[in-house]
Amino acid sequence: MKPGARRHRSQGRQSRPPRPAGPPVELLIEAVGGEGDGVAAGPAFVPFTLPGERVRAVGSGNERHELIEVLEASPDRVSAACPHFGTCGGCALQHWAREPYLAWKVERLAGTLARQQIETEILAPFLASPQTRRRVALHARRGNQQSARLGYKARRSWDLVDIAVCPISDPAIQAAIPAMKRLAAPLFEHPKSAPTLHVTLTASGLDIDISGVERKSGGLSADARVQLAERAAEADFARVTLDGEVAYQARLPQVRLGPAIVAVPPGAFLQATPQAEAAMADFVAQEAAGATRIADLYCGVGTFTFRLAQIGQVHAADFAPDAIRALSGALASAPGLHGVTAEARDLVRRPVLAEELKKTEVAVFDPPRAGAAEQTAELARSSLARVIGVSCSPATFARDARTLIDAGFSLERILPVDQFLWSPHIELVGVFTR
């Protein structure tokens, strides 16, 4: 929206959550809260609003309100990129201009660290571009025999927003939406089936792992499996699996991670966008430069491993045996590495001990959202000179960072990474030194 525009109807073209009861009220939005909603005095939370805006909204006496219209718009308001914005629960902030949106994310990150009494240098954030997401999870609901309904959950609802486009996703994923709707149609033999298509774009094509198909009744019939395979072949998908079990495979899905070509296991974790992965991996490698022995903990299929092995010897560990097998199998595709050892290991129940890290100079850890409390305690006990933490959760990162700082480390700098575009989430890479 251009500065000076005065009135706006709230956005979205599909059915909305039920509007709360109560008379409309005028509110002045003072800030944006942690979930991306505008916050007025009270507090009152109003989605799709920005600081400085005066709005009409309706609530039911609690903090939650629904936007009726924007009476005075912020100069930072822009037109949403997606026709489903406002009803789809996937994006919360498409209406906010780039610079204030990024500044808000960095401010939230700094506030999360401050709650653990941590201050550090926060570098300029990396921002993913639209149409770069290579991983999405699409929910399917019964349609007809030829095409299921497919999309994301509606905002504050279990209903489905049947999507036609998704501007955050790679164009190859968007182009395949009609074919994926056809693929999902045979999955509803059992009334309790609620399938989710976990879609990953690889160098070999789309890899789709399907969860949520009712299996207590015996799973899909032979006829349904034949239809699934036929429709996957029609769409030229690389592979389709049912909870990891291959239902169709034309090509082995592969991705390049640094110098290596990795065959991706069904449902394996990859960073959401290749560009963010490259930015994080380059930063990690830069901060690990000069090390001769490196530990890569929660390594997955080798997001950082292969790049680190161009610097020094790497010991990689992860709880997923299939990820470790994929990593080990890719070593032959990347000549010139300094050496990689890899093990499947539960780093919560059996973290790599401080004693095992005696000859290690740098440790990298990239845990799930729950963080790495047990492993961080061992890193804190170790004689490591440098630790690099990668996290999708600033809150658990700050908790783990506090453990390292209390043991004598200093958090030198953080690179914020915004690869979940237009959502409230922010990721980061933090560098600790003794």
Model pLDDT, residue 13? 38
Model pLDDT, residue 219? 82
Q: Is the pTM of the predicted complex or chain greater than 0.85?
A: yes
Model pLDDT, residue 9? 38
DSSP string, 208-252: EEEE----TT-SS-HHHHHHHHHHHHHHT-SEEEETTEEEEESS-
| Residue among 339, 365, 338 nearest 352 (CA) | 365
CA neighbours closer than 13 Å in the CB half-sphere of residue 251:
14
Name beta bridge partners: 295: 315, 363
Prior bond of 43 cis (ω within 30°): yes
The first and second tokens of residue 119, run together, are 């201050």
Model pLDDT, residue 3? 36
Q: How far, rounded to the nearest angstrom, does the alpha carbon of residue 66 sit from its chain's CA centroid?
A: 27
The domain defined by 8-80 carries CATH number 2.40.50.140: yes
Length in residues, the chain: 434
Model pLDDT, residue 15? 45
What is the rounded distance in angstroms from the CA atom of residue 413 to the CA atom of residue 192?
48
What is the rounded distance in angstroms from the CA atom of residue 102 to the CA atom of residue 80?
16
pLDDT tens for the chain, 434 residues long, are: 333 333 333 333 344 555 556 789 999 999 999 999 999 998 999 999 999 999 999 986 668 899 999 999 999 999 999 999 999 999 999 999 999 999 999 999 999 999 999 999 999 999 999 999 999 999 999 999 999 999 999 987 888 999 999 999 999 999 999 999 999 999 999 988 999 999 999 999 999 999 999 887 778 999 999 999 999 999 999 999 999 999 999 999 999 999 999 999 998 999 999 999 999 999 999 999 999 999 999 999 999 999 999 999 999 999 999 999 999 999 999 999 999 999 999 999 999 999 999 999 999 999 999 999 999 999 999 999 999 999 999 999 999 999 999 999 999 999 999 999 999 999 999 999 99
Vertex 282 angle, CA 174 and 271, to 5°: 35
Class of domain 116-129+270-433: alpha beta
Model pLDDT, residue 67? 94
At 113, give phi and psi (nearest 5°): -65, -40
Model pLDDT, residue 19? 55
3-state DSSP call for residue 328? helix
Q: Do domains 8-80 and 135-254 have the same CATH topology?
A: yes
Helical axes 394-406 vs 98-114, angle rounded to 10°: 40
- Told to judge if 299 belongs to the known catalytic residues of this protein, a careful annotator would answer no
Which CATH number among 2.60.40.10, 2.60.120.10, 2.40.50.1070, 3.30.465.10 corresponds to the domain 135-254?
2.40.50.1070
Residues 6+ apart with CB under 8 A from 306: 257, 258, 259, 260, 330, 334, 337, 340
Q: 190: how many CB neighbours lie within 10 A of its CB?
A: 16
The first and second tokens of residue 75, run together, are 């100069």
Q: How far, rounded to the nearest angstrom, does the alpha carbon of residue 72 sit from its chain's CA centroid?
A: 34
The first and second tokens of residue 110, run together, are 């700094």
Instruction: Please name the helix (run of DSSP H) or strand (run of DSSP E) that holds residue 316, with its range, or none.
Output: strand 313-318
Model pLDDT, residue 2? 35
The ranges assigned to domains in the chain are: 8-80, 116-129+270-433, 135-254
Q: Are 32 and 38 in contact (CB under 8 A)?
A: yes
Give the pairing of strands 313-318 and 340-344: parallel
At 63, give phi and psi (nearest 5°): -80, -25
